[in-house]
Amino acid sequence: MTELIATAKRLGFHGMVAHWEDYSTQPWLQNLLVLEEEERQLRSFARRIRDAKIGQFRPLAEFDWTWPKRIDRELVEELFTFNFLSQTTNVVFMAPNGLGKTMLAQNLAYQALLAGHDAKFVKASKLLDELSACDGAHARKRCLRKYCGVDLLLIDEVGYMRYGDHHADLLYEVISERYQNRSTIVTTNKPFKEWGEVFPNAACVVTLVDQLMHKAEIVVIEGDSYRQKEAKERAEAREKQRTEKQTNLASRPVSNDAKSGSRSAGKVAVQGGAK
């Protein structure tokens, strides 16, 4: 009974709690509270999924661990225990194009949502453009609060474009605001020593990288592009189908009607020649 009244308080059924003696003996009470709590959890998860904007992604079960030449699988699997969230540790997936760094990060964010955490996915270009477009300090603070207030922020594709000093300052503001307060996941195609090329002449790059790396798990993935591998396999499969189709057509026996047609055509040709 103590558990039921605690559930009623948690759900905000204050009138029921105030008149608990009237409701506590009702046979439908427990089912009502259980159903209401489950429904609220489902609505909460749906809202967090919508707000996270993770987008479409392939499930972790489809990740080919044998393809990369280098990946610390044990470290990646450890991340899915979410100990890094309780320790406000950052995660950096560092890899060339097509090796699944975004796929792993999206799966991590999705599982964090399932575990009850808030998360948000955003490409670096969209984040910086949105902050840059803010009209005035108040609007920028409101935008920063949107990205800095979630338990887990996933910033995708840092390093794919070059940015000016102002954009570097904005990214630093996000990382600095979350530093040692909340965890951030970053995917990048460049090692940290090359971030100066992404933000050329920006004075804050060294400090930005320092804060991001401090208490961070770095997942380095090396190898050839898996997307190129899949594209090559699709092309080879199409070519194989075409070859098999041509072989089947060439080996198909000629019907009697076709033979008769051929003989008739030959006779007409001969007669025509005689004229």
User: Does one domain contain both 90 and 32?
Assistant: no
Amino acid at 29: L
Average pLDDT, the chain: 88
Residue 269, Cβ neighbours under 10 Å: how many?
Answer: 9
Domain encompassing residue 93: 70-220
Q: What is the pLDDT of residues 154-178, one digit of tens each?
A: 999 999 999 999 999 999 999 999 9
pLDDT value of residue 228:
77
User: Does one domain contain both 35 and 109?
Assistant: no
CA distance 119 to 121: 7
Q: What is the pLDDT of residues 233-257, one digit of tens each?
A: 788 788 888 888 888 888 777 566 5
User: Does one domain contain both 83 and 201?
Assistant: yes
**Could you tell me the end-to-end alpha-carbon distance of the chain, in angstroms, rounded to an integer?**
111
Residue 86, Cβ neighbours under 10 Å: how many?
Answer: 9
Whether residue 228 is contained in a domain is answered as: no
Whether residue 143 is contained in a domain is answered as: yes
pLDDT value of residue 258:
53
Q: Residues 29, 35, 40, CA angle at the centre, nearest 5°?
A: 125
Contact of 209 with 195, CB cutoff 8 Å: yes
User: Does one domain contain both 84 and 214?
Assistant: yes
Confidence of residue 262 (pLDDT cuts 50, 70, 90): low
Averaged pLDDT, 15-43: 86
pLDDT value of residue 249:
84
DSSP H helical ranges for the chain: 2-11, 14-18, 20-23, 29-52, 73-79, 83-86, 101-114, 124-132, 137-148, 165-178, 195-198, 205-213, 226-251, 256-274
pLDDT value of residue 83:
96
What residues contact 150, with CB distance under 8 A and at least 6 apart? 118, 119, 120, 182
User: Does one domain contain both 43 and 150?
Assistant: no
Whether residue 251 is contained in a domain is answered as: no
Number of domains the chain is built from: 2
Whose tokens are 């804060």? That residue is: 211
Contact of 208 with 171, CB cutoff 8 Å: yes
User: Does one domain contain both 40 and 84?
Assistant: no
Q: What is the pLDDT of residues 140-154, one digit of tens each?
A: 999 999 999 999 999
Averaged pLDDT, 267-273: 49
User: Does one domain contain both 95 and 211?
Assistant: yes
User: Does one domain contain both 84 and 130?
Assistant: yes
- Integer angstrom CA distances of residue 164 from 150, 201, 205, 229, 262: 26, 8, 11, 35, 75
Whether residue 246 is contained in a domain is answered as: no
Whether residue 203 is contained in a domain is answered as: yes
User: Does one domain contain both 197 and 78?
Assistant: yes
User: Does one domain contain both 31 and 75?
Assistant: no
Burial of 260 (0-12, 13-18, 19+ CB in 10 A): exposed
User: Does one domain contain both 74 and 207?
Assistant: yes
Compute the residue count for the chain: 275
User: Does one domain contain both 43 and 85?
Assistant: no
